[in-house]
Amino acid sequence: MMQRKKIGMIGVPMDMGQQRRGVDMGPSAIRYAGVVERLEELGFDIEDIGDLEIGRREKTIVERSNLRNLKAVLEANELLHEKVSEVIKQGMFPLIFGGDHSIAMGTLAGVAEHHKNLGVIWYDAHGDLNTEETSPSGNIHGMPLAVSLGLGHPSLTNIGGYSPKVKPENIVIIGARALDDGEKQLIKEMGIKTYTMHEVDRLGMTKVMEETIAYLKDKTDGVHLSLDLDGLDPDDAPGVGTPVAGGLSYRESHLAMEMLAESNIITSAEFVEVNPILDEKNRTAQVAVALMGSLFGEKLL
């Protein structure tokens, strides 16, 4: 990862993968929390590509489909796919800021094009493995991992013109504690490696990350980190749309990022679901930026 000293930052002010407003201001909040300065201090050359233009919310759910804002979410993710792919072609490390987690569909479409065997670390309270059949809400931000596996609405699974983006055996979910029945079934059926909060508590974060890195290191040719701030406990990251009590701590998350930095396996990353409207004095965006610092090699000593 660190061979690429240039980072291409892309903001995706998307709030249409779910119903609560405000997460579209996430990229601004992250920039305001000093991300550019933080990473420049670590010796990186930053190219801030700015924010993608996102369409408008749709008044109705698409006919014959349980999906909210399908057209706008699809268009934004097609655009994101192109931007991410462009950043990689220019030899930069793609760092994407959300917005809601539906943007992972576009990110993964752009990243996976450049890898034969992409690994994915899904750091999240949720599995995001729903399809329109299993989703209780029709919110697309609960579907991006399923879509990237080739499951779901064909227009979404074919973003970038190919499917799937990732294989189930190349995924590790960390921090899960709110899984729907359909998602639990899918994890078992597909054998997706998952560390719920039970495993994190039982094994400790050091062991979880050692196992994750060992699991992905030799069989992948790059690893994408998709970090949802609701993976952290709401006490540490209050500004998220779907907070779930009993989450990963601030310090556990730093340890995870520090170990990923040492392992040198991460080739792209996104930080999503920062909602400044629900936040306290931009705390959650500050947490996101601090975690990025650790991911890119910042040390305490």
Beta-strand ranges (E) seen in 90-165 are 93-98, 119-123
Helix, strand, coil shares, percent, the chain, to 5:
45, 15, 40
Rounded-to-integer distance, Cα 288 and Cα 293, Å? 9
- Please answer whether residues 137 and 70 qualify as being in contact, where contact means their C-beta atoms are separated by less than 8 angstroms: no
Q: Among residues 100, 128, 233, 279, which one is catalytic?
A: 128
Rounded-to-integer distance, Cα 103 and Cα 92, Å? 19
The answer to whether residue 45 is catalytic is no
For 17, the 3-state DSSP assignment is: coil
Q: Among residues 15, 124, 252, 270, which one is catalytic?
A: 124
Q: Order of strands across the sheet with 119-123?
A: 45-51, 6-12, 93-98, 266-272, 223-228, 119-123, 171-176, 193-196
Residues 6 or more apart whose CB falls under 8 angstroms from that of 36 comprise: 9, 46, 48
Q: Among residues 51, 81, 100, 126, which one is catalytic?
A: 126
The answer to whether residue 124 is catalytic is yes
Rounded-to-integer distance, Cα 148 and Cα 76, Å? 16
Rounded-to-integer distance, Cα 23 and Cα 240, Å? 8
Q: What are phi and psi of 14, to 5 degrees?
A: -100, 125
Residues 6 or more apart whose CB falls under 8 angstroms from that of 78 comprise: 106, 159, 160
The answer to whether residue 181 is catalytic is no
Q: Among residues 141, 153, 224, 254, which one is catalytic?
A: 141
Q: Among residues 15, 183, 228, 298, which one is catalytic?
A: 228
**Tokens describing residue 155:** 């227009």
Q: Among residues 24, 51, 273, 279, which one is catalytic?
A: 273
- Please answer whether residues 229 and 271 qualify as being in contact, where contact means their C-beta atoms are separated by less than 8 angstroms: yes
**Which position has the token pair 């930080």?**
271
Q: Among residues 101, 115, 224, 254, which one is catalytic?
A: 101
Q: Residue 256: is it exposed, middle or buried by C-beta count within 10 angstroms (0-12/13-18/19+)? A: buried
The answer to whether residue 273 is catalytic is yes
The answer to whether residue 128 is catalytic is yes
- Estimate to the nearest angstrom the gap between the alpha carbon of 61 and the chain centroid: 25
Q: Among residues 230, 233, 270, 298, which one is catalytic?
A: 230
- Active-site residue set: 101, 124, 126, 128, 141, 228, 230, 273
